[in-house]
């Protein structure tokens, strides 16, 4: 009897999920380089249309190739509750900033492969001060990354957003206990390396004023052992 009840509950959840998915507009970038406002989207199977406004209803955006740019304060990539943005196929997304919505049903930017590059000093933000929505890395380590090219404003760098839980690995939010202060990236990365999900963890690098969030694979035990043995062999040779 209990098993039957569980089956009915799962069936109800599945039906609800399918109904919600069916009501969302599917908006796919047609490739090439262009602005978010270009008539370069296929909307529910109809090509060469403008992308609908996020606030007009639940939207599932898919960027499978090419470069989408020109996100500004006036043309914000703002996801509302239930919206999704799937980036796959080596696509790149450029702009000033993006803002996943907070709410009881959070929105997600699912980053399977490719990249997101933002140029505003407060590129990754939310309108409510609560990071319920997030950029969710779901691909293999090394297949995707997020960059911020302007980290000139205090407490708004990409490493600060990591602490706030703006990024996730396979649906698990990652947040550090230490705030980034401009000079303690090694400490932040040490905490990130301890937050392993499915043998993957985040690492933030900074080169020339650009911060990049990478997804790194935990070394295989055999690889670590080989590295250790190689080090011992080199040490023994030097002391013969």
DSSP H helix total and E strand total for the chain:
4, 18
Would you state the pLDDT for residue 11?
A: 39
pLDDT of residue 69: 86
pTM tops 0.75, yes or no: yes
In this model, does residue 47 exceed pLDDT 90?
yes
Distance CA 238, CA 240 (A): 6
In angstroms, rounded to a whole number, what is the distance separating the alpha carbons of residues 39 and 17? 30
d(CA 110, CA 126): 16
DSSP line for 24-55: SEEEEE-SSEEETTSS-EEETTEEEEPPPPGG
Enter the tokens of residue 125.
């933000």
How confident is the model over 75-93, as pLDDT tens digits? 666 666 677 788 887 788 8
pLDDT in tens, 15-45: 333 334 446 889 999 999 998 889 999 999 9
Which tokens sit at 190?
Answer: 């040490």
Q: What are phi and psi of 194, to 5 degrees?
A: -85, -15
């Amino acid at each position: 009897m209990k098993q039957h009840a569980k089956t009915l509950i799962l069936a109800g959840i599945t039906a609800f999920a399918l109904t919600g998915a069916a009501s969302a507009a599917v908006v796919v970038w047609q490739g090439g380089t262009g602005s978010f406002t270009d008539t370069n989207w296929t909307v529910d199977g109809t090509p060469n249309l403008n992308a609908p406004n996020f606030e007009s209803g639940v939207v599932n955006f898919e960027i499978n190739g090419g470069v989408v740019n020109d996100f500004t304060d006036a043309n914000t990539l703002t996801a509302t509750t239930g919206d999704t943005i799937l980036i796959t196929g080596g696509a790149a997304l450029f702009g000033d900033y993006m803002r996943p919505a907070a709410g009881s049903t959070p929105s997600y930017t699912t980053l399977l492969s490719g990249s997101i590059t933002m140029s505003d000093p407060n590129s990754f933000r939310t309108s409510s001060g609560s990071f319920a929505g997030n950029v969710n890395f779901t691909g293999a380590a090394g297949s995707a990354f997020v960059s911020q090219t302007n980290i000139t404003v205090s407490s708004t760098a990409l490493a600060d957003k990591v602490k706030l839980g703006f990024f996730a690995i396979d649906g698990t939010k990652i947040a550090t206990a230490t705030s980034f202060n401009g000079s303690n990236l090694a400490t932040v990365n040490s905490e990130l390396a301890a937050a392993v999900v499915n043998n993957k963890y985040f690492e933030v690098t900074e080169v020339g004023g650009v911060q990049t969030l990478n997804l790194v694979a935990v070394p295989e035990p055999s690889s670590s052992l080989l590295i250790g043995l190689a080090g011992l062999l080199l040490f023994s040779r030097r002391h013969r």
